[in-house]
Amino acid sequence: MRIAIRAGRFFDGTAAAPRDNVTLVVDGDRIAAIAAGDAPADVERTYEAACVVPGLINCHVHLEVNGAPNTQTFFLVRTPTERTLDVALNARLSLEAGVTTVRDLGGAEPSAIVLRDAIARGEHPGPTIVPAGRALCMTGGHGAFISRETDGPWDARKGVREQHKIGAGCIKLIATGGVLTKGAVPGQDQLSEEEMRAAVLEAKTHGMRVAAHAIGTNGIKNALRAGVNSIEHGHLLDDEAIALFKERGAYLVPTLAAVHCIFENISSGAQPDYVVRKATELFHLCGENVRKAFRAGVRIAGGSDAGTPYNPHENYAYEVELMSTVLGMTPQQALTAATATAAELLGVESGVLAEGRPADLLLLNYDLTGNVRAVRDPRVVIKAGRVAHERV
């Protein structure tokens, strides 16, 4: 199938200046040409849009959860079968909202791995999935209710080998406590630097990249020294951590929506007290700290921690908005964090619109310049050259 898309304004996902009045030709699942002027005559259909951008990449999701106010209880009462259906539903909702690639950073079951393959075979609608399988945490650590408990460097290697065996595409480590686990303290170290270094070395031998959940200052630095590719959350980072990010070339995935969605829904009364207390503390610190990292030149990749309380998968546009309003990114910079930079972190080919690249792209009703909300509810979502969703 060969289609043309005439774009009033075109962003390729990178920091390059947007171009006006260009036509993209999509042939099969790839972009065949991007050029000024009209659509060629040999296409089956021509679309027109005020603005065209790459499909969004969400570097931090949990497809098994859907924004329920109490995550830990959700995993107790929801059966694995129900959660398998949730994974499929959340994948479809992500795609319809313009998210064409997600990195699933941990679930109780390998459903996201199985769904990745079903989507790749064309049997189910959804984004490209880069799944971590089960996260590795210390015994009794943050997320232990869904993770693979791991103690000691050799066990960390075994944990990585197990995820590789079941088909994981990346590895998730828990370096500090977190918000959604009862009793876990976000500032506290969990997996040790030694354990994480062993996991990173093992992951490398399988060609897998490593993400570390790290909120506490010291745990962030432990994970960076251990060689992880990205720090997830990173809310209590300091100047020394910023220097380490830059020295190691690591990415920061700030997941601002996770904290904001909890804080903005305290009045529901449905969230556990410990969640509200910890998120409120982080809400007052994370904006300033992450902004400092961004200004210092740390590479920021978009990820929303979708699935956490009141933070559904179809709301990734909110994270893009927060990167702009809270971190002071221009709308284009926020788009780049959620496309080209996210793709670099994940090691996927999408995220940049150029000849020969995958045709994962969004047709927007409004120009993104000066209006970061333009990425919300795209009019047409195209994934691998096919219309995945069209709003009428």
Q: Is 64 in the site for Zn ion (CB under 5 A)?
A: no
Provide the 3-class DSSP secondary structure of residue 145: coil
User: Tokens standing for 196?
Assistant: 């994480």
Torsion from C-alpha of 378, 61, 229, 210, nearest 10 degrees: -140
Stretch that binds Zn ion, among 12-20, 32-40, 297-305, 319-327 (CB under 5 A): 297-305
Closest residue (Cβ) to Zn ion? Answer: 305
User: Tokens standing for 301?
Assistant: 């990749």
Q: Which is nearer to Zn ion, 71 or 128 (CB)?
A: 71
CB of 145 vs Zn ion, minimal distance in Å: 13
CB of 255 vs Zn ion, minimal distance in Å: 7
Q: Which is nearer to Zn ion, 64 or 305 (CB)?
A: 305
Q: How many residues bind Zn ion (CB under 5 A)?
A: 1
Stretch that binds Zn ion, among 165-173, 179-187, 303-311, 380-388 (CB under 5 A): 303-311
Among candidate residues 144, 114, 10, 87, the one with its CA nearest the CA of residue 307 = 87
Provide the β-strand partners of residue 49: 7
Residues numbered 117-176 forming contacts with Zn ion, rule: CB under 5 A: none
CB of 363 vs Zn ion, minimal distance in Å: 30
CB of 94 vs Zn ion, minimal distance in Å: 15
Q: Which is nearer to Zn ion, 305 or 319 (CB)?
A: 305
Q: Is 305 in the site for Zn ion (CB under 5 A)?
A: yes
Q: Which is nearer to Zn ion, 64 or 360 (CB)?
A: 64
Stretch that binds Zn ion, among 19-27, 88-96, 298-306, 331-339 (CB under 5 A): 298-306
Torsion sign over Cα 89, 254, 160, 141: negative
Stretch that binds Zn ion, among 112-120, 145-153, 299-307, 384-392 (CB under 5 A): 299-307
CB of 250 vs Zn ion, minimal distance in Å: 17
What are 343-346's contacts with CB under 8 Å, separation 24+?
343/13, 343/57, 343/101, 344/251, 344/299, 344/301, 345/59, 345/209, 345/229, 345/230, 345/251, 345/253, 345/299, 345/301, 346/57, 346/59, 346/101, 346/103, 346/130, 346/170, 346/209
CB of 390 vs Zn ion, minimal distance in Å: 31
Q: Which is nearer to Zn ion, 212 or 226 (CB)?
A: 212
Q: Which is nearer to Zn ion, 105 or 384 (CB)?
A: 105
Evaluate whether 191 touches 233 at the Cβ level (below 8 Å).
no
H helices of 45-123, in order, are 71-77, 80-96, 111-120
Stretch that binds Zn ion, among 282-290, 301-309, 322-330, 370-378 (CB under 5 A): 301-309
Alpha carbons 379 and 366: distance in angstroms, whole number:
10
Helices (H) and strands (E) in the chain, counts: 12, 17
By CB neighbour count within 10 A (0-12 exposed, 13-18 middle, 19+ buried), where does 316 fall?
buried
User: Tokens standing for 4?
Assistant: 């043309």
CB of 213 vs Zn ion, minimal distance in Å: 6
CB of 143 vs Zn ion, minimal distance in Å: 8
Chain residues that interact with Zn ion, rule: CB under 5 A: 305
